[in-house]
Amino acid sequence: MPVDCSSNRVPSGIPGLDEVIGGGFPRGGLFIVAGSPGTGKTIFSATFLYSGATQFGERGIYVSFAEGRDDFYRNMRGLGMDFEKLEKAGDFKFLDMITVREEAIPTILETILSELGGLGARRLVVDSFSALVQAIRERHDVRIMLHTLLNKITKSLGCTAILTVEIPYGEEKIGLGIEEFVADGIFMLRRSGLEGGRIIRDLEIFKMRGTPTPETNILFTLGNGFKAFPPFRAKPVEKPRRFNPIPDTEEYFSTGSMSLDEMLGGGYPRGSTVLVEIADEHISMRQYHLVVVPTIWNFITRGRGVIITPSRGPDHNIVRMRAEEGGISKEEIMGLLRVCVEDYPGLRPEPYVVVFKGENLREDHEKYLEIERELVEKTGQPVFCIVGLDTLIDIYGLRDTLSITRASATTVREKRGLLMLILKPGYPRLAKLIGALADIHLKVTRKYGVVLVYGMKPRTGPHILEMDTSMGYPMPELTPIM
């Protein structure tokens, strides 16, 4: 059923964008979507038209000076947008203007105005305005056309229009410089690099008339259509439920997250050491716990033991709270979970808390191995061990931490269990050493408030991390940037 669009805002239809720009584009405005070839301008504009017709009851026209009808329909069908069906239903029209020449400019404007009126269209895309400008010799003619689009189409007809503008690689100037002054909004699309040649995409809002934009840079992806990502936001759990475990395979332990399993090609190999490197000091506990905690739930709900030496910050109470968020029972926590903490005044003993003096590494390690043996004998299954490396460094020093980590990696491989090492910012040399040792190396970082996860080993592209609470517990939702 069409959504009421009678307000002064026109929803873009692009997931994640409208909440940043105040609910959509100001109605009757002229907007520029600029960027180098391949940055997503056509998909952005097509999504605006398609969602207008299918979700908001607003017909649209696509004026193309760069791509033929058949190619456009085929490319958009691959993204789930069937414009041919919309055209047959009378909700969309494609105007092929590829062969336009200078002398046809007045005719083009008349054609656009006539088609808009005949269709009753409320949305218009001109793709690309740069191709049209190339056919116009005089600069003042460009200004005349822009003002015609602005006044007759957007203002008089109440039509909201998007012009796409090509920007050559290495340049920042938008078209002839005229467009910037008459447009109500300007969106710059970019494709840039991340560590190791990985690609990220961002949208910068240069201008948005009458709209406060506290966030001017937004990451986006083109996988399965144009989707924008505002800064990370934790979501409440409306109806708490017990975590539903994911089956393991003979080769892999599931991470507890289907999207993370898919990213890694199956999960964590049995007998492997996993390094989760927090590469940005602004990554919160809540954020990186989304990557770590589902594996804890998956082990415990399958009757396996988990031993955790927390990083500095999350104490045993937070560990227990995270377990309970997945519906883990008190009996399971007491029977299958062990949290190792250094002794301190006022520490209240709990059955699942194991206290270490932190004075002698050899003695403490033997105690740790004994706890592991007890859990293995109790369950008949391998154990999942999580270690906050900053805690070990604070207690035993860097050299001993590296030594015990190497020994633990060898032991876990022999026992076919799972070892996860959490490394916070501030240890670049250790990150390289442990990264070489680990079988799986994940990095968690941030860009424009958005949390990114990617694999150093195995190599993966960057994935945007969001929180999904639809199942009744907080889970990671990972979207690849494509």
What pLDDT shows up at residue 5? Answer: 46
What pLDDT shows up at residue 224? Answer: 85
Judge whether 239 and 472 are in contact, CB under 8 Å. Answer: yes
Rounded Cα–Cα distance for residues 290 and 322 (Å): 10
Rounded Cα–Cα distance for residues 110 and 193 (Å): 43
Rounded Cα–Cα distance for residues 212 and 437 (Å): 48
pLDDT tens, residue order, the chain (482 aa)? 333 444 688 999 999 999 899 899 998 888 999 999 999 999 999 999 999 999 999 999 999 988 899 999 999 999 999 999 999 999 999 999 887 655 566 777 788 888 998 999 999 999 988 777 776 666 666 666 667 666 667 777 789 999 999 887 766 666 555 556 678 899 999 999 899 999 999 999 988 887 787 888 999 999 889 999 999 999 999 999 999 999 999 999 999 999 999 999 999 999 999 999 999 999 999 999 999 999 999 999 999 999 999 998 878 899 999 999 999 999 999 999 999 998 887 788 788 999 998 888 889 999 999 999 999 999 999 999 999 999 999 999 999 999 999 999 999 999 999 999 999 999 999 999 999 999 999 999 999 999 999 999 999 999 999 999 999 999 999 999 99
Phi, psi of 23 (to 5 degrees): 105, -5
Angle, helices 69-77 vs 41-54, to 10°: value is: 80
What pLDDT shows up at residue 135? Answer: 64
Of 113, 109, 159, the residue nearest 129 (C-alpha): 109
Phi, psi of 312 (to 5 degrees): -65, 125
Token pair for residue 112? Answer: 């656009």
476: left (phi over 0), alpha (psi -120 to 50) or beta: beta
What pLDDT shows up at residue 2? Answer: 38
Tell me if the bond preceding 7 is cis, omega within 30° of 0: no
Amino acid letter, residue 185: G
What pLDDT shows up at residue 200? Answer: 95
Give the bridge partners for 465, in sequence order: 451, 478
* Structural Rg of the chain based on CA atoms: 28
For 62-71, b/e burial (b = at least 16 CB within 10 A) is bbbbbbebee
What pLDDT shows up at residue 149? Answer: 65
Rounded Cα–Cα distance for residues 136 and 142 (Å): 7
Of 312, 335, 298, 347, the residue nearest 422 (C-alpha): 312
Of 419, 424, 388, 390, the residue nearest 406 (C-alpha): 419
For 119-138, b/e burial (b = at least 16 CB within 10 A) is eebbbbbbbbbbbbbebbee
Of 124, 135, 109, 127, the residue nearest 66 (C-alpha): 127
Domains for the chain: give ranges and CATH numbers. Answer: 9-229 (3.40.50.300), 252-480 (3.40.50.300)
